[in-house]
Amino acid sequence: MVLPCHIGDYTDFYSSIWHATNVGRLFRSEEEALKPNWLHLPVGYHGRASSVVVSGTDVHRPMGQKMPRGATSPVWGECGLLDFEVEVGAFFGGKPNEMGERITIDQAPNHIFGIVILNDWSARDIQKWEYVPLGPFNGKNFASTISPWIITMDALDNFKTDIIPQNQKGKVPLPYLRSDDLTSYDINLSVSLTTDKGTTAVLGETNTSNLYWTFTQQLTHHSSGGCPMKPGDLLGSGTISGQTTKSFGSMLELCSYSQDYKEKKAWAFPYTLEDGSTRKCIQDGDTITMQGYCKKGDLYLGFGGCTGLVLPPKPVAKI
């Protein structure tokens, strides 16, 4: 299998309200879990298209700069908190907009060609130290894995579903992000971990209906400043999580909340596998597999798999 198209640019959003809330609760108060802008616009960052790889490609643990707990100066070393993120990615299609032109919310559906499963690998300890004040950088740019099949939006028409109400918590988006035709999709997603000993555990099951911001709103906001979009550009949804521990889309959430969801502390609750081993992050030799499907009556639509085996860091490049 190969990449389904040439990816010119890659942007990753942060569009699941439950994931954003879960992470916000860990590092801020309950009242400040969501940043003030979150309910007004689809938050995102520009990723690295050169490290988007197809399912089945091995992922080498990244090296980076970290600030150990209690230390007064950073250290250099391999990532110690490697994580996955369950996402979907939308591919831009159709006629590109010129620089300075905007794509409206009504035009956006004609420019979303199809969807893939996306694993936005994350080096949490590297990310934590570097992301202030400009956001993710080396903690995110080392690898992003996508499934090899682009499922077209035409194929997904039968699986449309209602979106989370846009007036949730009393916030209504600005007019350029409003439309009477906003829709979500009933895509079931799962993530599993397989150890080098062959033990497999399903870590979480979620659904794209947990996205607060739609694909069309993400694209509309992306182009709202006049950013030119081109066929093959990839827009990641951001981690998709539900409201329970069984529907989390990242190890950060899975290992930071107790099973009854009453206690929370970052990385304080390691996940126990059937063989008795535990994980609070992904280890070398672990394989992460994501799968997706839609089902409605006799209709069934599969997305294929999105897998990656984690290996130790590579040596310094010989250039």
Give the residue from 230, 215, 50 showing the smallest Cα distance to 144.
Answer: 50
CA dihedral 212, 227, 33, 193 (to 10 degrees): 70
Structure tokens at 102: 């905007």
**Residue 111 is among the residues annotated as catalytic for this protein:** no
Tell me the three state secondary structure of residue 150: coil
Give the residue from 214, 193, 180, 172 showing the smallest Cα distance to 279.
Answer: 193
Segment 308-315 mean pLDDT: 97
Structure tokens at 103: 């794509």
CA dihedral 70, 75, 80, 85 (to 10 degrees): 100
Segment 106-116 mean pLDDT: 98
Give the residue from 155, 150, 160, 147 showing the smallest Cα distance to 114.
Answer: 150
Give the residue from 250, 238, 243, 241 showing the smallest Cα distance to 203.
Answer: 250
Task: Indicate the pTM of the whole model.
Answer: 0.96
Neighbours of 88 (CB within 10 A): 26
- Tell me the one-letter amino acid at 53: V
- Tell me the one-letter amino acid at 63: M
Checking if the pLDDT of 220 tops 70, the result is yes
Q: 302 pairs with which residues across the strands?
A: 293
Give the residue from 57, 76, 70 showing the smallest Cα distance to 123.
Answer: 76
Segment 229-252 mean pLDDT: 97
What is the structure's pLDDT at 272? 94
Note if the bond before 133 is cis, omega within 30 degrees.
Answer: yes
What is the structure's pLDDT at 168? 56
Q: Which of 50-54, 64-68, 273-277 has the lowest mean pLDDT?
A: 273-277
* Catalytic-role residue among 6, 19, 60, 111: 19
CB under 8 Å to 59, separation ≥6 — which residues? 53, 121, 142, 143, 145, 308, 309, 310, 311
- Tell me the one-letter amino acid at 279: R
Give the residue from 246, 141, 160 showing the smallest Cα distance to 203.
Answer: 246
Segment 34-41 mean pLDDT: 94
d(CA 253, CA 138): 21
Q: What is the pLDDT of residues 141-178, one digit of tens each?
A: 999 999 999 999 999 999 999 887 655 556 789 999 99
Q: Above pLDDT 90, what percent of the chain?
A: 92
Segment 225-232 mean pLDDT: 98
Is residue 292 within 8 Å of 117, Cβ to Cβ? yes
What is the structure's pLDDT at 199? 94
Q: What is the pLDDT of residues 69-86, one digit of tens each?
A: 999 999 999 999 999 999
Question: CA neighbours within 13 Å on the CB side: how many for 232?
Answer: 10
Q: Which of 135-139, 170-174, 232-236 has the lowest mean pLDDT?
A: 170-174
d(CA 304, CA 149): 7
Segment 217-228 mean pLDDT: 98
What is the structure's pLDDT at 43? 97
Q: Between β-strands 278-279 and 271-272, what pairing exists: parallel, antiparallel or unpaired?
A: antiparallel
- Tell me the one-letter amino acid at 82: L
d(CA 192, CA 303): 15
Q: What residue ranges define each of the domains in the chain, with the CATH number in brackets? A: 10-311 (3.90.850.10)
Q: Between β-strands 234-236 and 10-13, what pairing exists: parallel, antiparallel or unpaired?
A: parallel
What is the structure's pLDDT at 170? 61
Checking if the pLDDT of 198 tops 80, the result is yes
